[in-house]
Amino acid sequence: MVDNNSQEFKGGFIEIIHEIFSLKESNLASAFFFSLILIMSVIHTFDWQKNYYDDAIDAKTEKDWAIEFEIETLTSEYSEVWQDEEIKVIDFLMEDFSVREDYYVGAIFITIIPDAADANLLTDPLYQCDAIAGDIEVNDLTAQWNYEGNNLSGQDSSCENIYLNLQIYPEYSGNSKSSDAPNEFQALMPWNLEGWGEGTLSISIELDVNSVDQLGPVTDDDDEEITILVEVHTFNAKAKLNN
C-alpha cells in the first residue's frame, strides 16, 4: 500500500515538473532568470579581477615622491672653568632633549667656545691663547659612528670656536630627497625608524694653558672658562608626489 502511494506521488511530481517546463512562458522565464544570474556572476567576477589587477599594478608601479623635512633644533649649554692640563668629560643625556612626537634625531652639532674674554686680549703682543682639545667620545649612543662626514675631534689654540658633529639618523642631511615608491607610506618608511639617538652624548675637553715668562698689560692666568653648546637637529619627514 505504501509502495503504491509512493509511486503515485513520484509520478504526480514528475508530471507537474514536466507540465511546468512544457509551457512556453515558463521556459522563457526560466531562461531569462538563469541568464540574468549568469550575467551578474560574470560582471561581478570581471569587476573583482579588474580591482585586483589595478591593486597589483599600483603595488608594483613606482612613483616619484619628494621627501621634505621639517627641522626643529633643541639646544643645551654647559659652562665650567677648566684648570691647566685638566681633562673633563661632560655627559648630555639624550632623554633630556624633549623630542616632539613623530620627530626623529637626525644629527648633533657641538660648539666648544673658549672664554670670550680671550678674544679681547689678542691685542696684547705677549698674550697666547690657551690650547683646547675637544672630542665626542664613542660609546653606546645609537648613531652613525662610522659615517665619513662625522667630525669627532677638534682642537684650537687661537681663541676660536671648535666645531664637532655626529650623524645620528642614517642618510639624514636635512636637505630634500627623492624617493621611488608605489605609495606615500612606503616612501616615508626609511624616515620613521625608531631607536636612533638614544643614550648619552659624552664630550671630552682638555685644556692646556699657554703662559709667558714676561707679563704683558694683562695678568696671566692658569685656567679657562669653556662653554659647550649642543644642538640636536630633529626632523619630521613629509612626502608629496612630484608633478
Residue 21 is predicted with a pLDDT of 53
| Class at the top of the CATH hierarchy for domain 65-241 | mainly beta
Region of 181 (left: φ > 0; alpha: ψ -120 to 50; beta: rest) is: beta
At 226, is the secondary structure helix, strand, or coil? strand
Which of 29-43, 122-136, 173-187, 197-211 has the weakest average pLDDT? 29-43
The arithmetic mean of pLDDT across residues 12-26, rounded, is 58
Q: Could you tell me the residue ranges of all domains in the chain?
A: 2-60, 65-241
Rounded to whole angstroms, the Cα distance separating 118 from 130 reads 9
Mean pLDDT of the chain: 81
Does residue 242 contact residue 98 with C-beta atoms inside 8 Å? no
Residue 26: pLDDT band by 50, 70, 90 thresholds? low
| pLDDT exceeds cutoff 90 at 60 | no
Which among 94, 69, 101 has a CA at the least distance from the CA of 235?
69
The arithmetic mean of pLDDT across residues 18-47, rounded, is 63
Which pTM does this prediction carry? 0.71
Rounded to whole angstroms, the Cα distance separating 67 from 185 reads 12
At 76, is the secondary structure helix, strand, or coil? strand
Residue 8 is predicted with a pLDDT of 56
Residue 57: pLDDT band by 50, 70, 90 thresholds? very low
The arithmetic mean of pLDDT across residues 144-152, rounded, is 97
Q: 141 — phi, psi (to 5°)?
A: -60, 130
Let me know if 161 is exposed, middle or buried by CB neighbors in 10 A (0-12, 13-18, 19+).
Answer: middle
| pLDDT exceeds cutoff 70 at 56 | no
Residue 153 is predicted with a pLDDT of 97
Residue 127 is predicted with a pLDDT of 61
